[in-house]
Amino acid sequence: MNTSKLKSTLKRVAAANRPELADLEYLLGLTDDRELALVYQYADEVRAQYCGSGIWLRGVVEFSSYCRNNCLYCGLNAGNKDLPRYRLNAEEILAAAEQIAGGAIKTIVLQSGEDPELDPLWLRDLIIKIKSRFDLAVTLSVGERSRQDYYLWRAVGADRYLLKIETSDRKLYESLHPDMSFTQRLRCLGELKDLGYQVGSGNIVGLKGQSLKQIARDILFFQENDFDMIGIGPFIPHQATALAAESKADLQLTLKTLALTRIVTKNTYLPATTALGSLGADYRREGLKAGANVLMPNFTPQPYRKYYEIYPGKRCINENAGDCGPCMEIMAGQINRNIDYSVGHTLKRGGEHGQKGTNY
């Protein structure tokens, strides 16, 4: 192993305003265990320096599994007629919000497929109710919508929005997303930022046909866009999709992507994703030791949880909402970290709430 080349490349990448693609590609291509350990350790140090030792929790409520899209990797694709679909009502979501707040968690993430029947005014009223009853930051993740909808929700206090680019390669993006457009995805991300949301994006690692160069470009895309949060998840094949026969992502490639995203983007919230916890074993600890600083416990109520099947083998589908609190504390303790129960707004732009620059 060439430790001096590795260390100098890591330093150069960390110091650069815009790292060299070739450096990122080289680091993504490392396979030696000791070299990988050095990359993860470097990312861990950057995380400690820019974000501290805290792990922030975001309580996720998957409130509708209806979806109009046919993403080639996703089990919720509209063509999957075998999957029973559900939609939670406002009372069920408010009960989940109460459990999240009761567990001292300060963020609720409302996620769904791109439900064609989602009424923007219904969601607006729900945000108002959540905000008036609980001390919760609200993150939305309901896909591509009009600027008007994004505005409507932001205006009543929605704080954050998650919309993964999935891959920053236009061609690969369009081959995986029939009837969707990369330009439209970028439009949505730009509008969300304009409206003053704290914006989360991210990618899937290990997609069919994805090269190390494309992943390196994803990392540069994250840096250019200065996202507040970036979710990096391994591809997990789902039986009812076009990619059923493909192999799942390589764990180390996922961890390298996470670690390099930390080293390049510094003070970003990076979750140890549920998908990382569902890759055969629970690798979220490894994620937390390679740059991650967020966990996203599931608060989707039973019996719906198993039907939000974006990929198979999703962890904790038989658990009840609220089981996660002690589990999160144990996980943090095992790696000498702590759960941070502060609201966890963006660490960018001086940690402001993302209000500045709003022009809606």
Q: Which chain residues interact with ligand SAH by CB under 6 A?
A: 73-74, 111, 113-114, 141, 143, 163-164, 166, 204, 233, 235-236, 238, 275, 310-311
Which of residues 55 and 60 has its CB atom nearest to ligand SAH in the complex? 60
HSE-up of residue 261 (Cα within 13 Å, Cβ side): 35
- Nearest approach, Cβ of 129 to ligand SAH (angstroms)? 22
Which of residues 177 and 262 has its CB atom nearest to ligand SAH in the complex? 177
Which of residues 96 and 204 has its CB atom nearest to ligand SAH in the complex? 204
Distance CA 65, CA 31 (A): 38
- Nearest approach, Cβ of 101 to ligand SAH (angstroms)? 23
Q: Which two tokens stand for residue 161?
A: 């929005």
Which of residues 6 and 176 has its CB atom nearest to ligand SAH in the complex? 176
Which of residues 173 and 311 has its CB atom nearest to ligand SAH in the complex? 311
Which of residues 238 and 337 has its CB atom nearest to ligand SAH in the complex? 238
- Nearest approach, Cβ of 74 to ligand SAH (angstroms)? 4
| Nearest residue to 236 (alpha-carbon basis) of 276, 285, 286 | 276
- Nearest approach, Cβ of 152 to ligand SAH (angstroms)? 18
**Taking the mean position of all CA atoms in its chain, how far away is CA 259?**
15
- Nearest approach, Cβ of 8 to ligand SAH (angstroms)? 34
Q: Which two tokens stand for residue 95?
A: 């009960």
Which of residues 9 and 257 has its CB atom nearest to ligand SAH in the complex? 257
Dihedral angle sign, alpha carbons of residues 76, 277, 223, 55:
positive
- Nearest approach, Cβ of 295 to ligand SAH (angstroms)? 16
Q: What is the largest CA-CA distance in the chain?
A: 58
- Nearest approach, Cβ of 233 to ligand SAH (angstroms)? 5
